[in-house]
Amino acid sequence: MTSVNTEGFKAESYYQMLEEKDKILSLIYDTVGDVIFALNVNSTGEYIFSSVNQSFLNATGLNRDQVIGKNVKEVIPEPSLSLVLGHYETAIRTKSSVSWEEITPYPTGRKIGEVRIAPIFDQNDRCKMLIGSVHDITESRNYAKKLEDSMEKVAQKNYELEQMGYVTSHDLREPLNTIQSFSMLLKEELSELDNIGNSEKYLEFINSATGRMQVLLKGMLDYNVIGKQLQLKRSDLNAVVDVVLADLAGSIMKVEAEVIVPELPTLNVYETELRLLFQNLISNSIKYRQPDVPIKIEITSEQLDEKWKIEVIDNGIGIEEEYFERVFHVFQRLHKKNEFEGAGIGLSICKKVIDLHDGQIWVEKNQPQGSKFCFTISNELV
């Protein structure tokens, strides 16, 4: 009779089962999307990589032999190193897991990760290992940023609508009321054929009020059409400015203005909208000139990291610093109607144009006199 060694059979089955589970865990470890790593903590408190999964290698672009057995100081560069070492120490001191968000420039691109570290202690209460993971939250953070930007745009649009409502209820009603009042006076006076002495004066008031209303309505139309039919194209800004100077040739010649335009860049821009911006800024330089002072207007450009900065500089009457932000609001005027014509909408149009180009616009004082309108245009408009 043959005997069966059941103990050996059980042991063999047990080790087989462990081996299969180990394979499954290894498969999960190397196929999971999150970065996972383990650090041994040696007797001197140094952190040594003992294990990393495939996602770690994919994200960092490193080979396994470039990481395993290496001190974290050899793998993680500054300034990230000082940050993570502080978190490692906190996890060990508090004997609890620690998490934080980290922005890392991986070879595969800039990533935002949610990092979590958990300490493991031995029977002597000494931390012998740290287990870490990094969950990629780049997409969710980018989505949140886009949502935040969209909410800001909605808020800005609401503000603009409120401003339009104010203009409709106040600024546009004023010239209409003037027309109505003087029309009634004119009607009464003309009914008396022997007294028509003030008729011409009343008609002048009517024409003036009607003109102001036309300017306001044109300003509102220009403001509202910006961004409706956008066409991005590669444009030589010198050619754009040349077209504007040709359109304004009459005004420039009338006041004998000197306009200096050195070499400007060629960029992807919304050409029609940008032409309107230059037209408004140059027209303002001519309008707000100093009496008996030859007008000089200069347009300059400077390349920054990811943007171009362009300046329109004049030697006019300038703007007080307290109005530097207000001038870009819709229908804001700094002067009385009888001093300078206009609707107070030109600079708000300029701001809207620059917003389309992912840039900023602001005004500075020009020394010794005048204004310097500065704006930036992104290099990466597509």
Domains and CATH numbers, the chain: 32-136 (3.30.450.20), 172-225 (no CATH), 228-382 (3.30.565.10)
Token match 């935002």: residue? 112
CA 362 to chain centre: 14
CA 57 to chain centre: 34
**Measured distance CA(120)–CA(130) in Å, rounded:** 6
**Measured distance CA(349)–CA(222) in Å, rounded:** 8
Stretch among 180-189, 220-229, 301-310 having the lowest mean pLDDT: 220-229
pLDDT at 95 exceeding the cut of 90: yes
The mean pLDDT of 156-175, rounded to a whole number, is: 67
Burial (CB count within 10 angstroms: exposed 0-12, middle 13-18, buried 19+), residue 238: middle
pLDDT at 124 exceeding the cut of 70: yes
pLDDT at 263 exceeding the cut of 90: yes
Share of the chain above pLDDT 70, in %: 73
Q: How many CB atoms lie within 10 A of CB 66?
A: 14
For 291-315, what is each residue's pLDDT tens digit? 888 889 999 999 988 899 999 998 8
The pTM score is: 0.49
pLDDT band at 349 (very low <50, low <70, confident <90, very high): confident
Token match 């922005």: residue? 103
pLDDT at 126 exceeding the cut of 50: yes
The mean pLDDT of 55-60, rounded to a whole number, is: 84
**Measured distance CA(135)–CA(36) in Å, rounded:** 9
User: What is the pLDDT at residue 14?
Assistant: 57
pLDDT band at 26 (very low <50, low <70, confident <90, very high): low
In 3D space, the residue among 121, 108, 161, 105 whose CA is nearest the CA of residue 41 turns out to be: 121
Which of residues 25 and 123 earns the better pLDDT score?
Answer: 123
Helix (H) or strand (E) holding 34: none
Helix (H, G, I), strand (E, B) or coil at 102: strand
User: What is the pLDDT at residue 62?
Assistant: 86
pLDDT at 279 exceeding the cut of 50: yes
User: What is the pLDDT at residue 234?
Assistant: 92
Query: What are 7's two structure tokens?
Result: 């103990």
- Residues whose CB is less than 8 angstroms from the CB of residue 8 and which lie 6 or more positions away in sequence, other chains included: none
Can you list the alpha helix ranges (DSSP code H) found in 167-197?
173-190
